[in-house]
Amino acid sequence: NAGVMQNPRHLVRRRGQEARLRCSPMKGHSHVYWYRQLPEEGLKFMVYLQKENIIDESGMPKERFSAEFPKEGPSILRIQQVVRGDSAAYFCASSPLSDSGANVLTFGAGSRLTVL
Amino acid sequence: GENVEQHPSTLSVQEGDSAVIKCTYSDSASNYFPWYKQELGKRPQLIIDIRSNVGEKKDQRIAVTLNKTAKHFSLHITETQPEDSAVYFCAATPGGFNKFYFGSGTKLNVKP
């Protein structure tokens, strides 16, 4: 089991460009979470998705940020027109969630975005 | 929604001493409380968790206690070692189709 796979591990963008971060959940996991972490800070929830459905996007900025988890392929976090304040580590996590609540969260290695 | 508070933000102990990190939560519906360890530049990794139907759980030098009435849970690390130095995050979730709410983290430094 390869675990939660994120790519790219490091991404450098200039202001105004687009950043796309990808996450493949663990095998058998159908739920994906995205968290943002600024240096020396905690994990800030962004969005929670299952296949073809956004369950909770209350932590996502209203503009420039979007996320999807298609039926086939990885989950993608997209940041348009990046600004310096978007520089952070973006962690994806997945869970084998059942609606009975027996969920355990496993994190990927993170994607570190640097905006110049 | 849930609000998880974590204390202290930094903790420095001598090797061999014990370390205790405390978290409180606000939503009585929360029923699952994991603890994650994050080493510098690495991913958060689950080290121990507890569900609301038990009051304490141990795994070698690590233990977690839960007081549902007071809505707080704690991480206890005994006989600390330098490799325990990391940032520790607590979390709470009501389970089901709900997100995990994380504390702000505790930076533990174990001095040799």
pLDDT of residue B25 exceeding 60: yes
Confirm or reject contact between A5 and chain B (CB < 8 A): no
Confirm or reject contact between A34 and chain B (CB < 8 A): no
Query: What are the backbone angles phi and psi of residue B83, rounded to the nearest 5°?
Result: -70, -5
Confidence of residue A2 (pLDDT cuts 50, 70, 90): confident
What value does the mean pLDDT take over residues A52-56?
A: 93
**Is the Cβ pair A41, B94 closer than 8 Å?**
no
Provide, as residue numbers in chain B, all residues whose Cβ is less than 8 Å from the Cβ of A111: none
- The DSSP H or E segment spanning A92 is strand A88-95
Q: How far from each other are the two terminal CA atoms of chain A, in whole angstroms?
A: 36
The token duo for A30 is 């159908």
Q: Which long-range contacts (CB under 8 A, 24 or more apart) does B36-42 make?
A: B36/A107, B36/B88, B36/B89, B36/B90, B36/B91, B36/B102, B37/B86, B37/B87, B37/B88, B38/B86, B38/B87, B38/B88, B38/B89, B38/B105, B39/B86, B39/B87, B40/B86, B42/A109
pLDDT at residue B11 in the model: 97
pLDDT at residue B76 in the model: 98
Nearest partner of A44 among B107, B46, B39, B100, judged by Cα: B100
What value does the mean pLDDT take over residues A82-108?
A: 85
pLDDT at residue A94 in the model: 94
Scanning every residue of chain A, which has its alpha carbon at the shortest distance from the alpha carbon of B48?
A104
pLDDT of residue A100 exceeding 60: no
Scanning every residue of chain A, which has its alpha carbon at the shortest distance from the alpha carbon of B99?
A48
Provide, as residue numbers in chain A, all residues whose Cβ is less than 8 Å from the Cβ of B86: none
Higher per-residue pLDDT: A20 or B94: A20
Name residues whose C-beta falls within 8 Å of residue B12's C-beta, 6 or more positions apart in sequence: B108, B109, B111
Least confident of A7-16, A59-68, B16-25, B96-105: B96-105
pLDDT at residue B1 in the model: 76
What value does the mean pLDDT take over residues A51-73?
A: 94
Q: What is the pLDDT of residues B34-85, one digit of tens each?
A: 999 999 989 999 999 999 888 999 999 999 999 999 999 999 999 999 999 9
pLDDT at residue A101 in the model: 56
Mean pLDDT of chain B: 94
CA–CA dist A32, A3 (Å, integer): 13
What value does the mean pLDDT take over residues A58-78?
A: 95
Three-class DSSP category at A86: helix
**Is the Cβ pair A101, B100 closer than 8 Å?**
no
Nearest partner of B43 among A87, A66, A90, judged by Cα: A90
**Is the Cβ pair B100, A105 closer than 8 Å?**
yes
The token duo for B34 is 């994991």
CA distance A64 to chain B (A): 22
β partners of residue B38: B87
Fill in the DSSP letter of residue B70. T
pLDDT at residue B98 in the model: 78
**Is the Cβ pair B43, A48 closer than 8 Å?**
no
Distance (Å) of CA A15 to CA A12, A18, A81: 10, 9, 7
Q: What is the pLDDT of residues A19-44, one digit of tens each?
A: 999 999 998 888 999 999 998 888 99
Mean pLDDT of chain A: 92
CA distance A66 to chain B (A): 17
CA distance A68 to chain B (A): 16
A89 in Cβ contact with A35 (< 8 Å): no
Confirm or reject contact between A105 and chain B (CB < 8 A): yes
**Is the Cβ pair A45, B42 closer than 8 Å?**
no
pLDDT of residue B92 exceeding 60: yes
